[in-house]
Structure 1
Amino acid sequence: MTGHDANATGKCPVMHGAMTTTETTVMDWWPKALNLDILHQHDTKTNPLGPDFNYREELKTLDVEALKDDMRALMTDSQSWWPADWGHYGGLMVRLAWHSAGSYRLADGRGGGGAGNMRFAPLNSWPDNVSLDKARRLLWPIKKKYGNKLSWADLIILAGTMAYDSMGLKPFGFSFGREDIWHPEIDTYWGAEKEWLADSDGRYDDLGNPATMENPLAAVQMGLIYVNPEGVNGQPDPLRTAQHVRETFARMAMDDEETAALTAGGHTVGKAHGNGDASQVGPEPEAAGLEEQGLGWSNPNGKGVGRDTVSSGIEGAWTTHPTQWDMGFFKLLFGYEWELKKSPAGAWQWEPIDIKEEDKPVDVEDPSIRYNPIMTDADMAMKMDPTYRAISERFMADPEYFADTFARAWFKLTHRDMGPNVRYVGPDAPAETLIWQDPVPAGNSTYDVNALKARIAQSGLSQSDMIATAWDSARTYRGSDMRGGANGARIRLAPQKDWAGNEPHRLAKVLDVLEGLAAESGASIADTIVLAGNMGIEAAAKAAGFDVAVPFAPGRGDATDDMTDAASFEVLEPLADGFRNWLKQDYAVTPEELMLDRAQLMGLTAHEMTVLVGGMRVLGTNHGGTAHGVFTNRVGALTTDFFVALTDMAYSWHPTQDGTYEIRDRMSGDVIWSATRIDLVFGSNSILRAYAEVYAQDDSAERFVTDFVAAWVKVMNADRFDLG
């Protein structure tokens, strides 16, 4: 700016930093405060497409074949500003899709490529994602052409699938349907480290035992997708690395065969880049200057691109023909002995001993020059670990089996967080149902709902039993990967029927009754469980003076043991349920933080969480029938009594030695009620108290019932993707 007085900064009309930084936030001042931001993310105000935009409707107008033709053409349309290795962007696009999808972890279903999150920090600037900013820019002309008919999330994953297609692998399938987010996700915990690629030791109780990695993390270091390619903490040791690979991929829902297939198939194409001084590479996108326009890692080595590119620090291709799908990975890995060497960037890598000249891959720019192929420590694990070696030998003996196994594993990698196949969109979505999609058969919706309600009413089941069972069935839903929920009635199958949080003894008695009623009526057990819960809510509302009909949509199906991968459902076990005032054991995080995590996974807002907790307390649905937080003398009536008592200064609150609280009458000192941290946080946290005060008002009794029913139905129907 011209004429700016450098000494006049005090006259600036803007409070410096107040609009552009997050320094000195509320959490900085009070770090132990309950941070509700996890429930406020992705507000509709951040979405530029407006509330009426429906991506799945837009997809119906997408010319898929034209898009695929454009994608194939892009693969070999090399751009001078970021030239394609060997004239083909296949390897780069595979890496883009892989690193987008590969952040998924099974423990909480978070991460993955289902929302286009790689466009934002921190993923866009992870050390493991060097140069993928260039891949997204190469895709921009296609995104620009197809506009809102094609999300970034779908385009990124499609790029990897079409890359394999263009290099000779027949894909297992592809589904559209991933909707973009519009700012960074704040719900995903990537680790506590304060520096990129810090040693792994802090993530493990015992680094020698990979199973002790902190949950829900899956990657071994901050800023990596999987494992360090040079070895554990950068120290090569393929047998040790194999154990970390096994644990990491298991946490990403992959078994040993899928892991071996993905490792070999991923490194059949493309190359690693480390031809230069990695310390000279510029800052990542989030730290780069304005003139970089969102690009990062500016590279001063030689031309900075092509053969001079630096990304991982490892340098070289894995196979002789890196733009072709073939068996070259196994041919070289098992055909030669390998030794440790350093790349030009100083990274450890394995190179073959006495390799034939014709087996060497050619230079990315000059086919008259050949270089040694390379292997990472994880690649060597496929040869040296006995289990991985046996799998690799099986693949080598049957190339078609390898191609099919990889194609299926790639599909799982890129679709695992999309949920069941009823959510798949597009002509290439596979018809085959896979067990990891948590299949549920279609349910009957033609039975007499009113007749079933009459049978339930005469069943003798208590109101609290009906409500608690429906809640326990539905609360497993997590929007992070669309797993769990009431549909399928898996609460009656292993492992859910034995979870402590489901009160197995009580549950068995309730299910025995409801299963009989379902059989008599022709309804599914899943529908019967939800309908019974709805009836409990209707009765509670009536006891509070309100006649309401809780909306019910029949059509849920019942899963079987054969349709259920029991091991993969273990991660859905609730270890705490603030809504039923239960904690399996003491944890490092507070019960209220666990409640926020569960609420966010269920897709609840802060006020929906508030109304549900207050309602569940007065309904008498606490786990084990405890009295904590039941601030009412009208248990079973859907009243605002929880909020009225919580905000009434006639009472005082006192901690006890067992970690609970006594609610005493201020005048007499008599103990009136008991409470947990979960109950009292709705009075102590300023935001939650604001919601509690709304429902404590004298004019809010009807609003409370209406809001509770709406939130309840949202939970019951969270996994009903067929409802639109």
Structure 2
Amino acid sequence: MNDKQKSSTGKCPVMHGGATEAATTNMEWWPKALNLDILHQHDNKTNPMAADFNYREAVKSLDIAALNKDMHALMTDSQDWWPADWGHYGGLMIRLSWHAAGTYRIADGRGGAATGNQRFTPINSWPDNVNLDKARRLLWPIKKKYGNKLSWADLITYAGTIAYESMGLKTQGFAFGREDIWHPEKDTYWGAEKEWLAPSGSEGSRYSGERDLENPLASVMMGLIYVNPEGVDGNPDPLKTAQDIRVTFERMAMNDEETVALTAGGHTVGKCHGNGDASVLGKEPAAGEIEEQGLGWNNKSKRGIGRDTVSSGIEGAWTTNPTQWDNGYFSMLLNYDWELKKSPAGAWQWEPINIKEEHKPVDVEDASIRHNPIMTDADMAMKMDPAYRKISERFHNDQQYFSEVFARAWFKLTHRDMGPKTRYIGSDAPQEDFIWQDPVPQGNTGYDIESVKARIATSGLSVSELVCTAWDSARTFRNSDKRGGANGARIRLAPQKDWQGNEPSRLSKVLAILENIAAESGASVADVIVLAGNVGIEQAAKIGGVEVTVPFSSGRGDATTEMTDCDSFDVLEPLHDAYRNWLKHDYSVSAEELMLDRTQLMGLTANEMTVLIGGMRMLDTNYGGTKHGVFTEREGVLSNDYFINLTDMNYTWQPVANNLYEIRDRSSNEVKWTATRVDLIFGSNSILRAYSEVYAQDDNKEKFVHDFVAAWTKVMNADRFDLDLI
């Protein structure tokens, strides 16, 4: 065989390890390197829509009445390829919506249903989401029909609400406006376990101590949405399961009453599927063969549909009438004694003792056959935990009250990560203000902005005080669930006014002056706080020789204590802030990794992070007035000195303590400055150094200022959803 033949027949013409197949990544080669990928999620290159496409504008033309009618029809239009239980897809669609919304967690606001992320790995292949791929395919004709006017995120969430309505529940309504993402959020931290459903105590366990669940996680196992339905680590014990439930649902922003309502309401309809051998199921969607076309868990050796479906492994319905909204769940749970049994698939489940024949639900395909109902360990917790039992009994005795509480909890579950009510679109959205929406009243726009700025400029407050206060007010914003930010001026209310990271003594001094200016001018305190930061930046830029006007949009309102759920704001407290060079404590995670996490939550890019860090150092905004990273002789001047001196090879960088470094003159060995890890990372990381070098250039002094102003304005306006509503 000649060389040409060898080339064409013995060697693959595709370069392996690049774009065509998995290969050793940079992080595998250099595990200590800083991975910036979390800041590059949802790059515009992944979006197939035109640059000028605006879903929030498109959905306003959606024919909601027609969609509602089509969705109701879909619920009872059983398709042969995946038949509906009892001829109704309600239970399946509720599980779809619930498992999309239920990934939400309060610690960092990530997860939830607002992006359609359930379509992508890893979530679409989690064991707890087995066969939900079928539910999305059942919805495809609806998505195909309504096209760009209806996002997958809205459709997946809407499906559960319509399912409840079709089975008799009066819901709280529904709001549209969730925009789809087009790429997995692969950098979201879902846990450190190395295997699906790994029990506590295994490698990478999310538990420590007695049973302390790692923050920010909410679910108890890798691959589960909530708790293990068979019990803690698969060992039935309702009282132990109750402890897991309470922690998990609290981290989903639910109290005990909401928890019982959601558990019971979710199990009032539909069924579990475990009438078969789980070992014959095929691989999950992410691991399937190409001919599976994105479907997973396929059963090729047995029938695997209808009554023979295997999903959770538990088998049976909870109530006598699983396609009706009624009080059957509590009647069944509280009026019968229960015993442990194994399902046909080998899963632990609870079944009633001496149940009346007429109370048994009928077979999903043959109404002449009846089966025992079931309860999971989580259901038994609703009966055996004293607090849950009390709530369950009240719901049992008052069906209307249960329905009302559940409807409100369901609305909260499916809308918690959408942010304030101003983002809701559609005539079906309720008008009521819920405290968990963090309501903020409309602010005044009729005051003289220039007059307010003049008052601030002559107030005697320093550039550092002005900028720090505005930054601290705005930095709480989380793009993940649209919470926090400067709108509302909650920095002047509990708990924010007392947070250590806000330097309460300095904050109190500044607010006293700014609140007086607001009262005399007619502006909101929220607007004046942001204007104060802008004034400080304009002054600092002017001293550095650059005239700049920081953009400003008035109209922020001032929230009241009555509008503020103090407990829910506790999770927004900053425990670190690289932008002000502050760590509340030493953490197992490096300071630079904490910086990336906060930056991503604020919706900033790597470049915006770089320019903001450099500018904030020059504005002398470090927490407590420390000088770490203040690489300049001109403190308080908005200059590019930070980057000039960071990249200057006339200096050396030497560690002297944990997270503390000295920058010394090479020739004299004189200590010029001190720095932290989040300072030096901008010189050591190749990507961040590339940005730093741009701003260190002699011809980019003005570019630095203008880029800083643009990034600053983005942070100040991050929660101004009224500015981008069309």
TM interval, short-chain normalised: over 0.9
Say if 2:692 is the partner of 1:692: yes
Instruction: Report deviation, 1:173.
Output: 1.3
3-state SS of 2:657 partner: coil
Give yes or no for the alignment of 1:140 onto 2:152. Answer: no
- Tell me, which stretches of 5 or more residues in structure 2 are unaligned? none
Structure 1 CA distance for aligned equivalents of residues 448 and 233 of structure 2: 62
Q: CA shift at 1:138, angstroms? A: 0.2
Give, in whole Å, the separation in 2 of the partners of 1:365 and 1:13: 53
What's the offset of the Cα at 1:6?
Answer: 10
Structure 1 partner of 2:397: 397
Q: Distance in 1 between matches of 2:424 and 2:190?
A: 28
C-alpha change, 1:344 and 1:207, in structure 2 (3 Å) is farther
Task: Answer with 22-31 or 176-185: which moved more.
Answer: 22-31
Q: Deviations over 1:594-646 (max 9, x none)?
A: 00000000000000000000000011001111000000011111110000001
Whole-Å separation in 1 of the counterparts to 2:35 and 2:55: 31
Shift of 1:396: 1.2
**What amino acid is the match of 2:29?**
W
Alignment of 1:62-211 (within 5 A): 62-201=62-201, 203-206=205-208, 208-209=210-211
Aligned residue for 1:656, secondary structure, equals: strand
Between the aligned partners of 1:205 and 1:285, the Cα distance in structure 2 is 28
Query: Which residue number corresponds to residue 642 of structure 2?
Result: 642
Give the letter for the 1:64 counterpart: I
Give the match for residue 631 of structure 1.
Answer: 631
Q: Residue 330 of structure 1 contacts residue 396 of structure 1 at CA under 8 Å; is this kept in 2?
A: yes
Cα gap change, 1:500 to 1:317, in 2 (>3 Å): same
Does the 8 Å contact 1:197/1:223 carry over to 2? yes
CA contact (8 A) 1:301 1:309 kept: no
Task: Write the distance in 1 (CA, Å) between the matches of 2:10 and 2:251.
Answer: 53
Aligned to 1:591: 591
SS in 1 for 2:512: helix
Give identity over the alignment, percent. 73
Quote how far apart the aligned CAs of 1:18 are: 2.0
Partner of 1:19: 19
Q: For residues 122-178 of structure 1, what are the alpha-carbon distances to aligned partners after superposition, in whole Å with 9 as ceiling and x for unaligned?
A: 000000000000000000000000000000000000000000000000110100000
Does structure 2 retain, via aligned residues, the 8 Å contact 1:44–1:50? Answer: no
Q: Does 1:439 align with 2:435?
A: no
Secondary structure at the counterpart of residue 143 of structure 2 = helix
Task: Label 1:250 to 1:465 Cα distance change in 2 as closer, same or farther (>3 A).
Answer: same
**Alpha-carbon distance, 1:10 to partner:** 4.3
Measured in 1, the distance between the counterparts of 2:596 and 2:310 equals 41
Amino acid at match of 1:710: A
Deviation at 1:204? 4.8
On the 8 A contact 2:435/2:564 being kept in 1, the answer is yes
Per mean C-alpha deviation after superposition, the further-off stretch among 657-666 and 679-688 is: 657-666
CA distance in 2, matches of 1:236, 1:352: 16
Q: Does 1:511 align with 2:511?
A: yes
Distance 1:404 1:655 in 2: 60
Separation (CA, whole Å) in 2 of partners of 1:659 and 1:530: 32
1:589 Cα offset (Å): 0.5
2:712 partner SS? helix
Shift of 1:97: 0.3
Tell me which residue corresponds to 2:674.
Answer: 674
Question: Whole-Å Cα distance in 2 between the matches of residues 6 and 16 of structure 1?
Answer: 18
For the Cα contact (< 8 Å) 2:208–2:214, is it kept in 1?
no
The count of corresponding residues between Structure 1 and Structure 2 is 719
Deviation at 1:21, TM superposition (A): 2.7
Deviates more, 1:122-131 or 1:654-663: 654-663
| Contact 2:121-2:186 within 8 A present in 1 as well | no
SS in 1 for 2:586: coil
Q: Which amino acid aligns with 2:487?
A: N
CA-CA distance at 1:472 after TM superposition: 0.3
Give RMSD over aligned pairs: 1.3
Tell me what 2:619 maps to: 619
Partner SS for 1:556: coil
Deviates more, 1:53-62 or 1:347-356: 53-62
- Deviation at residue 300 of structure 1 after TM alignment: 4.0
**Which residue does the alignment assign to 2:303?**
303
Deviates more, 1:147-156 or 1:650-659: 650-659
The whole-number CA distance in structure 2 between the counterparts of 1:708 and 1:133 is: 44
CA distance in structure 1 between the aligned counterparts of 2:670 and 2:451, rounded to whole angstroms: 48
Structure 1 residues 336, 556: closer, same or farther in 2, change over 3 A? same
Cα distance in 2, alignment partners of residues 113 and 6 from structure 1: 52
Contact 1:143 1:150 in 2 (8 A): yes
> Within 5 Å, which residues of 2 pair with 1:413-452?
413-452=413-452
Deviation string 1:661-713 (CA, Å, 9 cap, x unpaired) is 11000011100111000000000000000000000000000110110000000
Aligned residue for 2:368, secondary structure, equals: coil
Query: Given the alignment of the two structures, is residue 662 of structure 1 paired with residue 676 of structure 2, yes or no?
Result: no
**Could you tell me how far apart the structure 2 residues matched to 1:541 and 1:498 are?**
31
Structure 1 equivalent of residue 459 of structure 2: 459
Say whether residues 1:683 and 2:676 are aligned partners: no
Q: Using the alignment, how far apart are the partners of 2:189 and 2:81 within structure 1? A: 35
The equivalent residue for 1:369 is 369
Aligned residue in 1 for 2:482: 482
Take 1:693 and 1:464, find their aligned partners in 2: how far apart are those partners?
A: 26
What SS does structure 2 have at the residue aligned with 1:350? strand
Quick check: 2:122–2:186 contact (8 Å CA) kept in 1? no
**Measured at CA, do residues 257 and 622 of structure 1 come closer, stay the same or move farther in structure 2, by a change above 3 Å?**
same
Please name the residue that 1:501 is paired with.
501
Query: 1:205/1:151 Cα in 2 relative to 1: closer, same or farther (>3 Å)?
Result: closer
Aligned-pair CA distance for 1:206: 4.2
Q: CA deviation at 1:494?
A: 1.0
Q: What secondary structure is seen at the aligned counterpart in 1 of 2:673?
A: strand
Match for residue 223 of structure 2?
Answer: 223
Which letter maps to 1:632? Answer: T
Match of 1:469 in 2: 469
- Whether the aligned pair in 2 keeps the contact of 1:318 and 1:375 (CA below 8 Å) is yes
Using structure 2 for the length normalisation, give the TM-score.
Answer: 0.98
Q: Deviations over 1:485-525 (max 9, x none)?
A: 00000111111111111111111111111111111111111
**Partner deviation per Cα, 1:295-343 (whole Å, 9 max, x = no partner):** 0001246411000000000000000000000000001001110000000
Q: Match for 1:373: what amino acid? A: P
- Structure 2 letter corresponding to 1:402: F
The whole-number CA distance in structure 2 between the counterparts of 1:12 and 1:470 is: 58
Q: Distance in 2 between matches of 1:277 and 1:414?
A: 33
Q: How far apart, CA to CA, are the structure 2 residues paired with 1:416 and 1:596?
A: 24
Q: Assess if the C-alpha contact under 8 Å between 2:395 and 2:401 holds in 1.
A: yes
Between 102-111 and 497-506, the greater mean CA deviation after superposition: 497-506
- Residue 708 of structure 1 corresponds to which residue in structure 2? 708
Q: How much has 1:458 moved relative to structure 2? A: 1.6
Q: Deviations over 1:41-96 (max 9, x none)?
A: 10001100021110011112110000000000000000000000000000000000
Measure, in 2, the Cα distance between the counterparts of 1:611 and 1:302. Answer: 60
After TM superposition, the structure 1 = structure 2 runs for residues 49-68 of structure 1, keeping only pairs within 5 Å, are 49-68=49-68
Q: Which residue of 2 aligns with 1:531?
A: 531
**Secondary structure of the corresponding residue to residue 611 of structure 2:** helix
Question: Take 1:182 and 1:316, find their aligned partners in 2: how far apart are those partners?
Answer: 36
Aligned-partner SS, 2:107: coil
